[in-house]
Structure 1
Amino acid sequence: MNSYYVHNGTESSGPFNLTELKAKSILKTTPVWCEGMQDWKTAGEITELQSVFRVTPPSINTIPPIPKKSSEEANTKIIGIEKSFFYMLSGILVLVVGTLIFNFFEEGRSAELQQKNNITERNNLQFQLQEKEIEEQKNRIIEQEKQEFERVLKERKQTLNDRLFEIKQKLAADFSDLDQAKDKLAKATDFQFLRTNSERNEDISLIESEIENLKNEIENLKNEMDQLYLELEKIKA
């Protein structure tokens, strides 16, 4: 009869004979070793120790063991789940995964479409701003041209009025000179004392030439004045 050492998980004790082992109430899972064994074994693995274990009969109310399933019944289940229920769960799982994948790609497509729409809106807004800026530039140019045109008209109107004023002054002077020349002509015609006929005729010719020049100048000034008044009327219109 062999003597056995017992290991309690932290240290070994022994050796013990079968009677002593039985008194220690070892279990089938208790590690034991005896001379001739290469390594520790559980007590339940050693035939000689089977008489050491205490047999406890089951109580009356003990639940009967579950019968082993037949191979045919086992074939109706997959990983412990009824095949029909397993297939239904698999279908639902595939449907859920497919829905998630579809939603993922749909969200990506929507995001891409939204990004394109945002780019288009920005381009449209930029184009509208450019159009507005161009229109404002055109309006500014038109306004500047209008102001420049009004300035030129104002200056031209002032120039015309200044020239009219000069013409009126010149006409007044010419009319005064014409009246004086006519008086001189009348006096030269009537005055004969201490002058020869040739001298008298020469004086009369000079005065008449002066009168003719004054009349031509007055006529030219009047024509110019009429043209200036006509241009002023067009400006006012």
Structure 2
Amino acid sequence: MKKYYLHNGVESSGPFSLTELEEKQITAATPVWFSGMPDWKTAGEIEELQTLLKVTPPPFKSNSPTPKSKEKSNKIMVLNKGRFYLFAFLTLLVIGSFTLNFINENRKQELEARNNKTERENRQFLLQEEEIKAQKEQLAEQQRLEKERIIKEKKEIITKRLAEIQIENTEKQNLFEATKNELVKANQFHFFRTEEEKNNEINIIQTKLKLLQDELESLDRERTQLNLELENIQLKH
């Protein structure tokens, strides 16, 4: 049984039997080849394939002449002018609407991005302000505690010094009274003592009294000054 090969102008296909060629719907112009042929022939040139050929009717020619120039002038790209312009208008309308929506969407996204950035910056600024405020409050509290500590130490020092002054004043007052008694005794008459010795003793005792009196006055001034300082501290705090 013969086997036939077909060619579509680019590549060949087959082999096919006569039954298979019926399904291919070949025409008279289809190139065909089978074993024993020196070269390709068209199907119309092979006798046994005549019954398989697909008959293609010729194009219909209308007897009524149609003015081509008028037909061409009323149509653009297979559409008449009215429909073409309507189609073009609708196409432009759709493209314009799409473009406008695209631009608006981009603007909306840009605005949202800017708003989000501004909001983040504002939140960051508020956090920084709160942190600075907390640091200032912490520093102020440390300064307050330090000031209270210094005032407390100063009050303790003043109170301690006032107590010392009280003790020193009592001791020196007692010593002053005792020295006054010595001066009284030195002014009395004693045997075996010359006038010069008496005067020297009196001068020594008087000098001692003067020193004690100066020390008592100095202690009194210091006590007065410390009491004023303590009073000012208590008034301020």
TM-score bracket for the superposition, by shorter chain length: 0.5 to 0.7
Residues 152-192 of structure 1, C-alpha deviation per residue, up to 9 Å, x if partnerless? 11111111111111111100001110111111122222242
Task: Give, in angstroms, the shift of residue 40 of structure 1.
Answer: 4.0
Residue 18 (structure 2) aligns with: 12
2:166 equivalent to 1:160: no
- Aligned residue in 1 for 2:213: 215
SS at match of 2:41: coil
* Cα distance change of structure 1 residues 220 and 68 upon mapping to structure 2, 3 Å threshold: farther
2:188 matched residue in structure 1: 190
Number of positions where the alignment pairs a residue of Structure 1 with one of Structure 2: 195
The answer to whether the 8 A contact 1:167-1:221 is kept is: yes
Specify the alignment match of 2:111 in structure 1: 113
Tell me which amino acid in the other structure corresponds to 2:215.
Answer: E
Q: Deviations over 1:169-222 (max 9, x none)?
A: 100001110111111122222242332222222222211211111111100100
2:41 is the counterpart of 1:39? yes
Partners in 2 of 1:147 and 1:69 — Cα distance? 115
Equivalent residue, structure 2, for 1:203: 201
Seq. identity, %: 35
State the SS of the aligned residue for 1:193: coil
| Unaligned residue ranges in structure 2 (runs of 5+) | 7-15, 20-24, 33-39, 51-62
Cα gap change, 1:174 to 1:98, in 2 (>3 Å)? same
- For residues 219 and 94 of structure 2, the distance between their equivalents in structure 1, rounded to whole angstroms, comes to 105
Change (3 A) 1:28 1:226: closer
Query: Structure 2 residue aligned with 1:179, among 177, 201, 224?
Result: 177
Cα distance change on mapping 1:40 and 1:209 into 2, 3 Å: same
CA distance in 1 between partners of 2:64 and 2:185 (Å): 169
User: Partner letter of residue 136 of structure 2?
Assistant: K
Give the C-alpha shift of residue 235 in structure 1.
Answer: 0.9
TM-score by length of 2: 0.67
Q: The residue matched to 1:194 in structure 2 has which SS?
A: coil
User: 2:58 matched to which residue of 1?
Assistant: none
TM-score w.r.t. length of structure 1 = 0.67
Q: Radius of gyration: which is bigger?
A: 1
Q: Quick one: distance in 2 between partners of 1:172 and 1:69?
A: 152
Q: Separation in 2 of the partners of 1:80 and 1:102?
A: 31
- Segments of 5+ residues of structure 1 without an aligned counterpart are 1-6, 14-26, 50-66
Q: For residues 50-98 of structure 1, what are the alpha-carbon distances to aligned partners after superposition, in whole Å with 9 as ceiling and x for unaligned?
A: xxxxxxxxxxxxxxxxx99956678656666554344323322221111
CA root-mean-square deviation: 3.7
SS of 1:92's equivalent in the other structure is: helix
Partner of 1:89: 87
